[in-house]
Amino acid sequence: MRFRKRSSNMQNYDVVVCGAGPSGAMAAAEAARSGLKVALLEKQFLPRHKTCGGGMPMVIQTVLQDLAPEAFVESDVTHMRHTWNFADSYLAPINPPGSGDPLRVTRRDRLSLWMVQRSIFDNALAERAAQSGAELRDGLAVRSLEIEPDGVTIRAEGVKTGSEFLAKARYVIGADGANGITVKSTNLRKDRAIAIAMEVEHPHHWGDGHVELRPDVAHLEYGAVKRGYGWIFPKADHLNVGAGLFRPDQKDARGGREIRLQLQKTIFDYMDALGVKYDRDALKFHAHPLPTWSGKEMLHEGRILLVGDAAGLINPLFGDGIFHAVKSGIIAAQCLSEDAADQYTDRIHDEFAANFDAALSLAKVFYQWTGVCYKYGVKYERATRIATQLLCGELLFTNMKERALRRLKRSVGANFFPAFNS
């Protein structure tokens, strides 16, 4: 049920979730289904724009069984087109044919990547949480969290009405992002790893531009951004064109005007390379931080649990975060419903830590020697299938790390990369 009316009277909840993105909406839905009294707070009115490439593995449906894909999936990607400096292209199927291929695909094994608009996807998840019994309160900005021995007092304000929302919750789930008030109200995440991404949403008519600009193809460019990559993701009637800078050997990839100009130039050049018509002065750029995994750390403090971006659960190699955010929201809700809040960090580490640590090790190699990795890794005939299996969780980085490094050693010489021998 969605509540628009605001009241300054103290309200009581078992759980207040701050932020109605995928992690927050999933946490609210799962907690409400377990019988807890839940409020889901969102600063903006839904549906709202959210800067994000909007790609996710199709296996996310395993945790969204009651939400039909038709409600939010705009394109079903079955191919990836890789380029180096917008040339040396390689179009690879996610599901390669051939009975002699060890990764041969049956109908049961078919994988794909779903592309969504976050405004539509997030709203669908928020409505699902409301239908599950959570009180969805959008247009409500949290102003302060006061942590007390028996709970947390939440003060929020209507962004248009200015009216006060005052509540007491036994627990708060922070799903309001890397810079949200929940993180700032704790001593958590003080030494964060931050990547940066920039993107545009551009209207597109299928059939225009490059012949491989198709609704079933995701485009990835590796040479234009040093220690990063660019992308073009297909949506129903537009393209999401973006570029990200990772620098996994540093804590913070953000910088000044020079970095912003570099990412903007990559976006312009990518659109030019694929024959996308645009008005340079009319493009609206959206930039946002990507809080990537940098190792084990506490993700709960007393009665506050962090999920999704607030917890830094973005893969440091691929930069994907939606599926991980959804999983973390479910884990947080389960901990609270089982009266096991003190186990939350351990359960998150059990789910993600070893795999993300291995991905981080690979990221440090990939973004340092991207050209070599492109030639001998990305263009490897099974690499696109393997990458998708990693995104889906069918393969783990913990199992693939040494295999990938051995392949590069064989290809370019065991002593080429000092990092390989450490």
d(C-alpha 78, C-alpha 68), whole Å: 19
The residue range of the domain holding 171 is 10-51+117-191+297-353
pLDDT for position 103: 47
Give me 299's structure tokens: 């993700």
Q: Which amino acid is at 82?
A: H
Whether 94 maps to a domain, the answer reads no
State CA 70 to chain mean position distance. Answer: 21
Whether 73 maps to a domain, the answer reads no
Helix axes 397-412, 383-392, angle to 10 degrees: 160
Give me 178's structure tokens: 């890397």
d(C-alpha 93, C-alpha 106), whole Å: 14
Whole-angstrom CA distances from 2 to 35, 127, 257, 314 are 18, 8, 41, 30
DSSP state of 2: B
Give the H/E segment covering residue 171: strand 164-174
DSSP state of 59: G
For the chain, what is the domain count? 1
pLDDT for position 402: 86
The pTM of the full predicted model, rounded to 2 decimals, is: 0.92
Whether 30 maps to a domain, the answer reads yes
Whether 131 maps to a domain, the answer reads yes
d(C-alpha 394, C-alpha 103), whole Å: 12
Nearest to 118 by CA among 49, 56, 177, 68: 49
Nearest to 235 by CA among 220, 267, 213: 213
DSSP state of 45: P
pLDDT for position 403: 85
pLDDT for position 340: 98
Instruction: Give the angle subtended at the CA of 211 by the CAs of 205 and 212, to the nearest 5°.
Output: 95
**Residue 327, domain CATH:** 3.50.50.60
State CA 37 to chain mean position distance. Answer: 28
Whether 43 maps to a domain, the answer reads yes
pLDDT for position 26: 98
Whether 409 maps to a domain, the answer reads no
| pLDDT tens for the chain, residues 1 to 422 | 555 444 458 999 999 999 999 999 999 999 999 999 999 999 999 999 888 999 999 999 999 988 999 999 999 999 999 999 999 999 999 999 852 344 454 445 899 999 999 999 999 999 999 999 999 999 999 999 999 989 999 999 999 888 899 999 999 999 999 999 999 999 999 988 999 999 999 999 999 999 999 999 999 999 999 999 999 999 999 999 999 999 766 666 666 778 999 999 999 999 999 999 999 999 999 999 999 999 999 999 999 999 999 999 999 999 999 999 999 999 999 999 999 999 999 999 999 999 999 999 999 999 999 999 999 999 999 999 999 999 999 999 999 888 888 878 887 765 555 544 44
Whether 67 maps to a domain, the answer reads no
Assign residue 151 a region: left if phi > 0, alpha if psi is -120 to 50, beta otherwise? Answer: left
